[in-house]
Structure 1
Amino acid sequence: MPKFDTSDPVPRDRTTRGGRMTNERETGHEGRAADRAPGAAEHETEHETALEAVEKDEFSDAKKYAAEAIGTFVLVFSAVGTAVFAGDKVGNLGVALAFGLTLLFLVYAIGPISGCHVNPAVTVGQLAIGQVTLKRAVFYVVAQVLGGLVAGVTIYSVAQSLPTYDRAAQGLGANGWGPHSPSAVEGPLGGVLVEGYGIGATMVVEVLLTALLVFVVLAATDQASDVLLAGVSIGFTLAVIHLVSIPIDNTSVNPARSIAVAPYQDGALGQLWLFILFPLIGGALGALVYRSLFGRFAGLRPSTARVAGARRR
């Protein structure tokens, strides 16, 4: 992992507020580059998150989209793959850690390139508060869905090579409620004797837990936070989220993850709409909570904010 020098040797612009002097760090707002120095805006680099701002080198849009596709592939294959290939050995705790630890190392691996969204709900949350443009958000979501779909095909290809694998009975780690909830009780001869958690519970947990995830992503990468620890906060948040909701609906909080494996599990496509719509609602809600608590649209505004003195060694 690269080390960053986050010292701030450059004095911040100071403004007068309520009869006293305040600086930008205190107010949480950066001045526009064009206001600070003539022509400075031309040399500013667009950064969508604080993780990108500490990266010296600029990456093309194509590389950002590729990073999102690769990152989503890795997340789905590693984490959902753990549930499919080793779920009976590692249990819910192991699956939760697989999701959390995978996201943790992805934050450090591709965060400086694309911000490591790897989740349409995160992208929608950042779009809701103006931290990414609509064009970039659309391409991010497309890249994430494509990366997830390739991961789903790969998981299924590996799973079916096992002679004892039964797709109809075992599925592929898809999300579901009612008869498709992990808590549903099956009879000895097949069929569901008692349904699991219902649609209402599923809606609630997907909105609340996705909101929590997006809030932590934004808060951990805010200029007021220790950016170098962002991956730890985000990764372990996702792990805790899975510990809470795996028994309820197998945990989505990520439409790309749900889309990736729904085609391979009986009944999952009919319920997929919920795992697309409600995580997106939760993502927007989490972003708005972040905005209300931190008092700004974003920790680092695109095109107008920079980390003074930050450089990669």
Structure 2
Amino acid sequence: MSKRLFAEFFGTFWLVLGGCGSAVLAAAIPTLGIGFLGVALAFGLTVLTMAYAVGYNSGAHFNPAVTVGCFAAGRFPARDVVPYIVVQVLGGIAAGGVLLIIASGKPGFDVALGFATNGYGEHSPGGFSLGAAAVTEFVLTAFFLIVILGVTPKRAPVGFAPLAIGMALTLIHLISIPVTNTSVNPARSTGVAVFQGGWALSQLWLFWVVPMLGGIVGGLAHRAFLELAPEPRENIEGTEERPR
């Protein structure tokens, strides 16, 4: 269990450092900036790379909404939910701290201006309302869970799940960066909001409540409508034994 928790810590650390780091350090550099397309790709690459690196160990959640969604889908034990969420949040905060140290090395940097935080209303990149932000985060988190659960059963093609999950997260960011700066992950939101310290903390509740609900609904929807019954197996007499 300790190695699984370390895997979740390091994976979430990498996600926040790589994704939010690309937004804070590289997105807006004149002529060389990667823009929001580059930020979206960076988030997808963080999950893809760490899913290959440690997914065999912890399942590569790196996200409290994924953990509760997998639990809702019957894929994750209740006893491990809280420990996973705790280390994910700690990993996100640790990455936020490292990012702050790096970003503070540039003259004129001001963490109060945003620091890749998530927001709605006047703090939405595109000025989207609270309602629009909530719908966006809920729907995209639910579908993220449907993708994750769909590509990770034993009968799925081996070795391709991280690619699908990374591309799904990239797509999610392409859709929602203008709306909320994209959360779908409470640990990612918390990891930078605690250092911004102002409006980001006051709006953080949305980026916990809505992605967690979206994850649960996505997990339940997959379990109810998409999960296939176990494949038949042959009994010792050579006849098919179907699940009862």
TM-score, normalised on structure 1?
Answer: 0.70
Give the equivalent residue in structure 1 for 2:156. 225
Q: Going by fraction, where is helix more abundant, 1 or 2?
A: 2
Give the equivalent residue in structure 1 for 2:21. 81
Give the equivalent residue in structure 2 for 1:115. 59
SS in 1 for 2:154: coil
Counterparts of 1:250 and 1:120, CA distance in 2: 18
1:172 aligns with 2:115: yes
Unaligned runs of 5+ in 1: 1-60, 184-195, 300-313
1:137 aligns with 2:47: no
Render the CA deviation track for 1:238-295: whole Å, top value 9, x for unaligned: 0000000000010000000000011233311000000001000010111112112333
SS in 1 for 2:56: helix
SS in 2 for 1:224: coil
* Count of residues paired in the alignment: 226
Identity, % of aligned positions: 47
Matched letter for residue 16 of structure 2 = V
CA distance 1:112–1:274, shift in 2 (3 Å): same
Counterparts of 1:285 and 1:261, CA distance in 2: 26
Counterparts of 2:225 and 2:159, CA distance in 1: 21
Give the equivalent residue in structure 2 for 1:261. 192
Matched letter for residue 211 of structure 1 = A
4+ residue segments displaced more than 6 Å: none
Render the CA deviation track for 1:215-241: whole Å, top value 9, x for unaligned: 111110022321311011000000000
Render the CA deviation track for 1:34-53: whole Å, top value 9, x for unaligned: xxxxxxxxxxxxxxxxxxxx
Unaligned runs of 5+ in 2: 232-244
CA distance 1:84–1:297, shift in 2 (3 Å): farther
1:197 aligns with 2:141: no
Give the equivalent residue in structure 1 for 2:222. 290
Q: CA RMSD in A?
A: 1.5
Matched letter for residue 292 of structure 1 = A
Larger Rg: 1
Q: Is the 8 A contact 2:151 2:161 kept in 1?
A: yes
Q: Is the 8 A contact 2:22 2:42 kept in 1?
A: yes
Render the CA deviation track for 1:108-135: whole Å, top value 9, x for unaligned: 1111000000000000001112222222
CA distance 1:297–1:180, shift in 2 (3 Å): farther
Counterparts of 1:225 and 1:111, CA distance in 2: 15
Counterparts of 2:120 and 2:222, CA distance in 1: 29
SS in 1 for 2:204: helix
Specify which of 37, 44, 63 is matched with residue 3 of structure 2.
63
Counterparts of 1:280 and 1:134, CA distance in 2: 15
Q: Is the 8 A contact 2:93 2:194 kept in 1?
A: no
Matched letter for residue 74 of structure 2 = G
CA distance 1:298–1:119, shift in 2 (3 Å): farther
Specify which of 215, 231, 237 is matched with residue 168 of structure 2.
237
